[in-house]
A and B are shown apart, each in its own frame.
Chain A
Amino acid sequence: MSELLNDPETQRLQYQTAESQQELRGSSKEIVMTGAPWPDDDLGDTMIINMGPQHPSTHGVLRIMMELDSEEVVRAKAVIGYLHTGMEKTGEELTFVQGCTNVTRMDYASPLSNELVYCLAAEQLLSLEIPERATWIRMMLVELNRITSHLLFQATNGMDLGAVSMMLYGWREREEALRLLEIITGLRMNHNFIRVGGVAADLPDNWQAETLATLDKVAVGVDSYDTLLSGNPIWRERTVGVGTITTEECLAHSITGPVLRSTGFAWDLRKAQPYLAYEDIDFDIIYTDNGDVFDRYQIRLEEIRESIKIVKQCVAKMPKGDYRSQDRKVTPPPRARIDESMEALIHHFKLFTEGFKVPAGETYAQVESPRGEIGCYMVSDGGAKPVRMHIRGPSFYNLQAMGPMVKNALVADAVAIVSSIDPIMGEVDR
């Protein structure tokens, strides 16, 4: 009995007020449930307001704690974790074959980048050669995904600034692009199409015509957004000079992607550390100098055009050959072989039950996702599952830019700023 009383948990319970006697007391200060308190608690004439986790413009379940002096934001803090699903931990319980279904759900606006970075990391550990066609298919899909992701940004960014028509126009083109992805991968999102060793299937019949037709539609749509918004005086008033950030601040917060490029720092992993076959492709890095909301809008608009250019080159230059590695330890045998070959059946069974073994070691792979550098740190102990899988989610880092950007901005600006960072909460919380 005495042992039980010495147990710290029991002691804690003894000091607690009984549940029936608990009451909520008001205080002169604002009571706010937060992840952590403000550094100093003296509020004075200001008011703390919570934007989110349920709010029309916080892109899911982001919660922003703002201290307001009338309409002016004195300081703001992002409170995250409302969408935490433990995907990194889950990744340790899944074999390398199953892993893609897990990571694809993190950044749900650009799932293919997640799959790509996971597979690149696993392939680095395996020292696996990927057929050329698989590389090009991957590149094309990732760029198509960049288009849909940036179209999503255009839509939500327009909506956040009150241009409701823009939202529907953005989704009109995004729907076309998603339809194309569905034709190629079978799903509109969470494709699980890029697998370790290649891609899940070859490109379907008539894919060139479908792709080019979709690209034309998207290009027309992008031109119309440009016409609708870029010169609009209200739009410029809302975005130009709002939420500025400098290159130094970006680097200090390790911010990547369009937010970094908007400050005049032309950092794009596709050029800086080329992966896949980006060296064989002719495209430009889009960057601007002002680092404000308008620049980030424009960068993403232009990047859609660049991606269209890249996909068109992919269509023209798509090499022939295998769409996945022929290493039978990694790649499942073709369906037809299972009926006639005992070996194939065994391989198929082993692959989908215990997976393939990956040599021990650790590695880091990184690609340029629509939001910035997405990285995958992977440790293997020689088994079929990674011992540790960590994803560097660009949204998580980019969200830190909100603090310096919203200082002394208005509430309406804060909405525009958060929107211009384009955070995907699935990736922030993982």
Chain B
Amino acid sequence: MNVLFGAAKALFADGDLLTSSVVVIIKVLVAFVLLLVGVMLYIWGMRKWIADMQNRVGPAKAGPFGILQTLADGIKLFFKEQTIPSSAHRGVFRLAPYLSIMPAFLMFCVVPIGGEVTILGRTTSLQVVDLPFGAMFVLACSGIGVYGVMLAGWSSGSKYPLLGSVRASAQLLSYEAAFGLGILGALIHTGTLSTREIASLQAWENWRSFYEGWNLVPAFGAFFIFIIAALAETNHPPFDLVEAEQELVGGFITEYSGIRFAIFFLAEFMNVITMCAIATTLFLGGPSGPSLGFIDADNFINVWLMPIFWFMIKTIALTYGTVWLRAATPRMRYDKLMAFCWKYLIEAAILWIMFEIALELAKKNGWNRYTTVGLAATACLVLYGVLMLCVPKPGETVEEFR
């Protein structure tokens, strides 16, 4: 119950209820529309970028530069017949798309996309809700997202989707661990779970903020672990085994058609955007960035637009990175993917977290920084060596416990 109260308090923080409600409703609507339009533009941008990398033109017919292509596809899918296989579990089959898209929406709610602004006379940060446990909420949502994929494959009553959903449950649950450790890397520096506070702790003061304020440089290891795990969580190439087209036809969405397929499609790309936005918030300082010096600091542009601009730039840069990966890499194999997670990624994440904690302690207690780095790095390497000795080599047989 306390959790619920906390959430409610965060939503309707002091002030009269009516104004608060109006502000919340406005924010929810804006976030909803923003995310939908963002997905539409991302899919278009992705297709254009990837077309550029592959010597193609990409979508070019619908609207200027084909920008309305996604909209046209969506309308087409909306009016298409929806089929349900006779062997499917009808209820779960219908439910699964919503289980998949809800977490994608919810996760975006905690992302601050701008600084502190005043709406209807109330000062508020530009995010739907500032939960005191925002980072945990992200983890929870990405955990629930597994259900949509898993149940979709299971309820289809067909073989390829079943294989896809088995892969999905194993892959997503495994990478959840690395994902959590990646988030932890940022939290060690900020000491809070609230995304607004994480963003404000990385606020821009001068150019030194880039490596002192932002979490990117002090937690760069966690950043990479977070990015890899987030890509795996969102089924993004090269980790898109769940719907590996060449192997499993369409994976868990094989039997889906019409708007239900579109919802899965939307959820997948929404997740990519949300993950990029969360990475921006946790590691790249969120909306922080230099404001325009020649304009008044209280000016509308500096208060409203510049933080949003910086947030957008960072998120778009990250999404461009995902598109680049999509174009450049072959797909990983299922067993190698799991081995990569359990044998290397999680261990590296744990060691990195320990290393970071040592540095953080050194900073607080005033220990000699270089000695601490040296000792911590040595300890990590020794531990890594011990762990690697435990990992069976290829071809080495391991006794199975039954």
Contact = CB atoms under 8 A, between A and B. Distances in A.
Interface of A: 47, 49, 55-57, 68, 70-71, 158-166, 168-169, 172, 228-229, 232, 234-235, 237-238, 410-413, 415
Contacts, number: 83
Contact of B244 (A70, A168, A237, A412): A412
Contacts of B241: 412
A70 B333 contact: no
Given A163-B331, A238-B331, 7 more contacts: A71-B167, A159-B246, A161-B330, A162-B244, A169-B54, A234-B238, A237-B332
Contacts of B53: 165
B213 to A, nearest CB: 35
B111 to A, nearest CB: 30
B159 interface: yes
A410 B334 contact: yes
A412 B245 CA distance: 11
B335 interface: yes
B249 A410 contact: no
B336 interface: yes
B90 interface: no
A162 B237 contact: yes
Contacts of A238: 330-333, 336
B166 interface: yes
A56 B245 contact: yes
Contacts of B327: 164-165
A47 B159 contact: yes
Given A234-B330, A238-B330, A412 B54 contact: no
A294 to B, nearest CB: 12
A159 B54 CA distance: 13
Contact of B163 (A228, A411, A413): A411
12 contacts: A68-B163, A162-B329, A164-B54, A164-B326, A165-B53, A165-B328, A168-B54, A168-B56, A232-B330, A234-B238, A234-B329, A415-B247
B330 A56 contact: no
The 4 closest A-B pairs by CB, nearest first: A162-B331, A57-B246, A163-B330, A168-B54
Contact of B333 (A163, A164, A413): A413
A161 B53 CA distance: 18
Among B163, B245, B248, B331, the most chain A Cβ lie within 10 Å of the Cβ of: B331
Contacts of A55: 249
Contacts of A410: 333-335
Contact of B332 (A160, A234, A411): A234
Contacts of A165: 50, 53-54, 327-328
A57 B247 contact: yes
Interface string B307-346: 0000000000000000000111111111110000000000
Residues of B in contact with A, size category? 20 to 34
Contact of B249 (A56, A71, A161): A56
A158 B330 CA distance: 8
Contacts of B238: 162, 234
Contacts of A49: 159-160, 163
Interface in B258-277: none
Interface string B30-58: 00000000000000000000100111100
Contacts of B240: 162
Contacts of B160: 49
A234 B387 CA distance: 23
Nearest to B56: A168
Nearest to B248: A411
Nearest to B53: A165
Interface string B221-241: 000000000000000011011
Nearest to A161: B330
Given A237-B333, A412-B333, A413-B333, A162 B246 contact: yes
Nearest to A50: B159
B242 to A, nearest CB: 12
Contact of B329 (A70, A163, A412): A163
Contacts of B331: 161-163, 234, 238, 412
Interface string B154-187: 0000011001001100000000000000000000
Contact of B330 (A57, A68, A162, A413): A162
B334 A71 contact: yes
A236 to B, nearest CB: 10
Contacts of B54: 164-165, 168-169
A237 B163 CA distance: 21
A166 B237 CA distance: 14
Contacts of B163: 49, 68, 71, 411
Output the residue of A47, A68, A165 with the most chain B CB within 10 A. A165
Contact of A229 (B50, B330, B332, B334): B330
Interface in B331-379: 331-336
Nearest to A57: B246
Contact of B246 (A56, A68, A71, A169): A56
A168 B328 CA distance: 12
Contacts of A232: 329-330
Contacts of B50: 165
A34 to B, nearest CB: 15
A237 B327 CA distance: 18
Nearest to A234: B330
Contact of A237 (B55, B245, B246, B336): B336
Contacts of B248: 411
B356 to A, nearest CB: 27
A215 B165 CA distance: 46
A56 B237 CA distance: 17
A190 to B, nearest CB: 26
B90 to A, nearest CB: 19
A238 B332 CA distance: 7
A232 B330 CA distance: 9
Nearest to B339: A237
A413 B160 CA distance: 16
Contacts of A68: 163
A89 B330 CA distance: 43
Nearest to B327: A165
Contacts of B335: 71, 410
- Most chain B beta carbons < 10 A, residue from A47, A49, A162: A162
A158 B248 CA distance: 16
Nearest to B333: A412
A156 to B, nearest CB: 10
Contacts of A163: 329-331
A70 B56 contact: no
B329 to A, nearest CB: 6
Contacts of B166: 70
B352 to A, nearest CB: 21
Nearest to B167: A71
A9 B56 CA distance: 59
A168 B327 CA distance: 11
